[in-house]
Amino acid sequence: MKISFLIHNAYGIGGTITTTFNLAQALATRHDVEIVSALRHREHPNFTLDPRVSLRPLVDLRTEKEHPLHLRPASIFPAAEYRYQQYSELTDQRIGEWLKTTDADVVIGTRPGLNVHLAFQAPENVVRIGQEHLTLDNHSPALRTALRRAYRRLDVLTTVTEADAAAYRRKMRLPGVRVEALPNSVPDPLLPAADGRAKVVVAAGRLVPVKRYDLLIEAFAQVATQHPDWQLRIYGKGEEQARLRQLIESLGLYDNVFLMGAAAPMEAEWVKGSIGAAASNFEPFGMTIVEAMRCGLPVVSTDCPYGPGEIIKDGVDGRLVPVGDREALGAALLELVGDDERRRSMGRTAMENARRFAPVPVVEQAERLIDEATAARRAGRPVAPERDRIHRALISQGFAARDAAHAAAGNALRAVRRGQR
**Residue 18: pLDDT over 90:** no
Residue 47: band (very low, low, confident or very high) from pLDDT cuts 50, 70, 90: confident
- Please state whether beta strands 275-278 and 299-302 pair in parallel, antiparallel, or not at all (unpaired): parallel
Question: Residues 73-112: pLDDT tens digits?
Answer: 999 999 999 999 999 999 999 999 999 999 999 999 999 9
Q: Is the peptide bond before 306 cis (omega within 30 degrees of 0)?
A: yes
Let me know: does 317 contact 349? Beta carbons within 8 Å: yes
Tell me 163's DSSP state: H
3-state helix, strand, coil in the chain (%, to 5): 50, 20, 35
Name the residue with higher pLDDT: 213 or 404. Answer: 213
Question: Residues 160-192: pLDDT tens digits?
Answer: 999 999 999 999 989 999 999 999 988 899 999
**Residue 368: pLDDT over 60:** yes
The edge-to-edge listing of strands for the beta sheet with 200-204 is: 257-261, 231-235, 200-204, 275-278, 299-302, 318-321
The answer for 149, left when phi > 0, alpha when psi is -120 to 50, beta otherwise, is alpha
Residue 378: band (very low, low, confident or very high) from pLDDT cuts 50, 70, 90: confident
Question: Residues 196-215: pLDDT tens digits?
Answer: 999 999 999 999 999 999 99
Q: Where are the beta strands (DSSP E) in 72-111?
A: 106-109
DSSP per-residue codes, 223-245: HHHH-TT-EEEEE--STTHHHHH
d(CA 208, CA 82): 16
Give all domains of the chain, ordered by start, each with its CATH number: 2-185+364-396 (3.40.50.2000), 200-356 (3.40.50.2000)
**CB-based burial, 322-341: b 16+ in 10 Å, e otherwise:** ebbbbebbbbbbbebbeeee
